[in-house]
């Protein structure tokens, strides 16, 4: 990708704790540490994926960046169109609207994310209306352009979502996200509700649009195959923390964190000749309300030593652009995906 | 499929239709396959291909207005006698003795398949007492053993918990425990790992494999995930819009696919082994709505090898291309 490596989004020590309330007085008895000290950046025009299992905090992280949730702590620096860098996490709610033009979201479920009583014109045109485009004919024009862009016929704009298949609906969702020419698009599991034969179409469309419009993607997903396909860099999350972050190929072929290794080995490979020795993690994902001491992964880690029980590992850049939080990252050699 | 021993379950030309005001949905339209003892048959297909309705037809739990209109489902029982399941009344004594006892079922959604107001133990004990002549105490003991055999820690305590107190993985294990509590000879697993995370999925798949080795039961594994099929199945049936389009050994299906749909499906999935950020080949269009199913071969509107005048005019039959592989496509047969 040709870009000048200008950082578009810079997230520093982001935290989001949800209070657990109990009893008649709704006293706070604890916190779910959904996002716990997450730091990463995304360059202009790049795709970074957040990947992890359910409950690891990937969606919460994405929502904090868009200020759908108010972060508990940390900074989210965003470089606006005019080059000015602002801390999204610290902005008062009434100053968020101009920023929201520049950050948009694609949702997971194309069935519940589109209002069944609105036509495509209303759905895709609504962000335009909200952000001040009052002239109806201009909105219609723009909607037609957007529908063409995502591979739908503009004649369809007076129809309702029920007339479209899952893949087409996801295209509508993408058109709506692109209506305001955003610079950052947060895609939360955009293909996981689709049939396998349709997933490829949507992934291709997203790659194409990125090239055409110079978009920056924050891609949230649990499916490693999809993540590998779309991203330039990948951050692996476990119980609210990023355990490893690296350029895609490096992460898949030479992982440095035991959790990344286990996660990749658990993915069933679509080739019966590769029925290999899988690493099956024992036990369950730690409870984010009551995480174990030290490294959160140590109870399931086959490389854990005493230090892992006691000290929380810090994120370290072991080779350029490859970050790992593991005490033993430099001593152990791990198995990645076999190169074909 | 070359196999010396007799099939445990034999499905021939099964047709299950749903009769609705808007028209008839041919959910399963002449499915034919065999399940052998100790082997895993994988049934793979996308949504609407009829894989779940096939399972429901075997257990005779197809919901109204669905009905089996044609075909036979033959189960060979433990004593060697054969029963024709389509001939039984869905509420009859006979089918109820088979359901749960000879054929166990694991559903996709471990949350909704358990009753939220009964403990897990209650539900296991119910299944055991229904099928085996044992007392309350003995049934509970067996329930605890069943939970232990699927790797649930602390089964004496867990048996008195409710489904919502268990995590997704444990819940699915409990589901498998219920299905296996009466030692079925066939386990039908309908998307058993779809709702689970990959590391939990790996645990459950491992568990199913171990249990199969231990007990020698047959597994019919229904899923849309080709990776799971490649890991688990011995033989594979590929379905599209209610029809079996291809059938063969797992190695042939993945390394020597014949049907254009199987080929396209294998090419279009992003694999963890493929190169990042390249354009994937896609299957054009989407799965047709069941009400306007294309005439002829159901796949022809999306097929790259479409032959006008042939594919849209008649339906291809499922014919053997060699002794192990069958395919339903005009490319491989004389017209």
Could you tell me if B234 lies within 8 Å of chain A, comparing CB atoms?
A: no
- For the record, the structure tokens of A147 come out as 């529908």
- For residues B234 and B213, the answer to whether their CB atoms sit within 8 Å is no
- For residues A76 and A9, the answer to whether their CB atoms sit within 8 Å is yes
Strands A316-319 and A322-324: antiparallel
CA A73 to chain centroid = 19
The per-residue pLDDT for range A196-210, each reduced to its tens digit, is 888 999 999 999 999
The per-residue pLDDT for range A7-39, each reduced to its tens digit, is 999 999 999 999 999 888 899 999 999 999 999
- The residues, any chain, with a CB within 8 Å of residue A56's CB and separated by 6 or more, are A237, A238, A239, A240, A285
The per-residue pLDDT for range B160-186, each reduced to its tens digit, is 999 888 888 888 889 999 898 888 999
Q: Which of B193, B270, B278 best probes binding to A when mutated, by most A CB atoms within 10 angstroms? A: B270
Rg (CA), chain A: 21
Sheet bearing B66-76, strands edge to edge:
B23-35, B9-20, B66-76, B82-84
Alpha helices in A15-157 (DSSP H): 58-65, 97-100, 120-130, 136-149
Asked if residue A1 has pLDDT above 70, the reply is: no
% chain A with pLDDT above 90? 77
Are A267 and B198 an interchain contact pair (Cβ–Cβ within 8 Å)?
yes
If you write DSSP's letter for every residue of A163-176 in order, what string do you get?
A: GS-HHHHHHHHHHH
- For residues A255 and A272, the answer to whether their CB atoms sit within 8 Å is no
Q: Tell me B87's DSSP state.
A: G
Asked if residue B314 has pLDDT above 50, the reply is: yes
Could you tell me if B135 lies within 8 Å of chain A, comparing CB atoms?
A: no
Strands A47-51 and A233-238: parallel
Sign of the dihedral defined by the CA atoms of residues B70, B76, B77, B83, in that order = positive
Contacts of A338 in chain B (CB under 8 A): 273
CA distance A283 to A270: 26
Q: What integer pLDDT is reported at residue B181 of this predicted model?
A: 86
From the list B205, B251, B273, the residue facing A338 with the nearest CB is: B273
Beta bridge partners of A123: none
Are B265 and A197 an interchain contact pair (Cβ–Cβ within 8 Å)?
yes
Asked if residue A276 has pLDDT above 80, the reply is: no
């Amino acid at each position: 990708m040709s870009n000048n490596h200008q950082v578009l989004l810079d997230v520093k020590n982001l935290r989001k704790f949800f209070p657990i309330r109990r009893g008649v007085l709704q006293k706070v008895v604890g916190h779910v540490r959904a996002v716990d000290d997450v730091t990463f950046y995304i360059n202009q025009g790049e795709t970074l994926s957040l990947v992890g299992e359910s409950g690891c905090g990937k969606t919460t992280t994405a929502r904090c960046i868009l200020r759908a949730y108010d972060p508990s702590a940390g900074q989210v620096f965003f470089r606006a169109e005019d080059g000015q860098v602002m801390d999204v996490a610290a902005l008062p709610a009434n100053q968020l609207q101009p920023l929201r033009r520049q950050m948009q979201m694609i949702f997971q479920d194309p069935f519940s994310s589109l209002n069944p009583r609105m036509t495509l014109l209303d759905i895709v045109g609504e962000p335009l209306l909200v952000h001040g485009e009052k002239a109806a004919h201009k909105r219609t024009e723009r909607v037609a352009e957007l529908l063409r862009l995502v591979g739908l016929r503009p004649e369809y704009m007076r129809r309702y979502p029920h007339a479209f298949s899952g893949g087409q609906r996801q295209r509508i969702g993408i058109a709506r996200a692109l209506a305001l020419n955003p610079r950052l698009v947060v895609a939360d599991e955009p293909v996981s509700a689709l049939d396998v034969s349709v997933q490829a179409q949507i992934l291709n469309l997203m790659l194409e649009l990125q090239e055409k419009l110079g978009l920056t993607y924050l891609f949230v997903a649990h499916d490693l195959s999809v993540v590998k396909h779309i991203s330039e860099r990948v951050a692996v999350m476990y119980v609210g923390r990023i355990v490893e972050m690296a350029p895609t190929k490096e992460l898949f072929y030479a992982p440095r964190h035991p959790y990344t290794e286990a996660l990749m080995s658990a993915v069933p490979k679509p080739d019966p000749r590769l029925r290999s020795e899988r690493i099956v993690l024992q036990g369950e994902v730690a409870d984010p309300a009551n995480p174990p001491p030290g490294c959160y992964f140590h109870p399931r880690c086959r490389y854990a030593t005493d230090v892992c029980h006691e000290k929380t590992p810090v994120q370290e850049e072991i080779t350029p652009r490859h970050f790992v939080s593991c005490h033993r990252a430099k001593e152990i050699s791990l198995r990645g995906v076999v190169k074909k | 499929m070359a196999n010396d021993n007799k099939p445990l379950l034999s499905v021939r030309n099964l047709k299950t239709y749903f009769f609705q005001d808007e028209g008839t949905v041919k959910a399963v339209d002449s499915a034919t396959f065999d399940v052998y003892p100790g082997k895993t048959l994988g049934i793979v297909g996308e949504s609407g291909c009829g894989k779940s309705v096939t399972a429901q037809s075997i257990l005779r739990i197809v919901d109204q207005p669905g009905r089996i209109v044609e075909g036979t489902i033959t189960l060979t029982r433990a004593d060697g006698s054969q029963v024709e399941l389509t001939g039984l009344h869905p509420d009859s004594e006979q089918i109820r003795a088979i359901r749960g006892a000879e054929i166990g079922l694991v559903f996709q959604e471990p949350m909704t398949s358990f009753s939220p107001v009964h403990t897990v133990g209650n539900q296991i004990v119910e299944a055991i007492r229904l099928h085996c002549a044992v007392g309350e105490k003995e049934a509970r003991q067996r329930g605890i053993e069943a939970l232990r055999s699927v790797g649930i820690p602390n089964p004496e305590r867990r048996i008195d918990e409710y489904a919502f107190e268990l995590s997704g993985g444990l819940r699915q294990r409990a589901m498998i425990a219920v299905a296996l509590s009466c030692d079925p000879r066939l386990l039908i697993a309908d998307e058993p790992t779809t709702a689970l995370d990959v590391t939990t999925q790996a645990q459950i798949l491992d568990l199913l494999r171990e249990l199969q080795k231990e007990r020698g039961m047959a597994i019919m594994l229904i899923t849309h995930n080709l990776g799971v099929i490649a890991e688990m199945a011995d033989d594979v049936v590929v379905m599209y819009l209610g029809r079996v389009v291809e059938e063969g050994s797992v190695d042939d299906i993945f390394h020597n696919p014949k049907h254009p749909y199987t080929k396209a499906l294998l090419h279009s999935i992003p694999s963890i082994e493929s190169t990042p950020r390249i354009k994937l080949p896609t299957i054009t269009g989407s799965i047709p709505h069941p009400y306007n199913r294309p005439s002829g071969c159901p796949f022809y509107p999306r097929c790259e090898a479409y032959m006008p005048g042939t594919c849209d005019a008649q339906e291809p039959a499922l014919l053997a291309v060699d002794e192990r592989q069958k395919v339903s496509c005009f490319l491989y047969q004389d017209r």
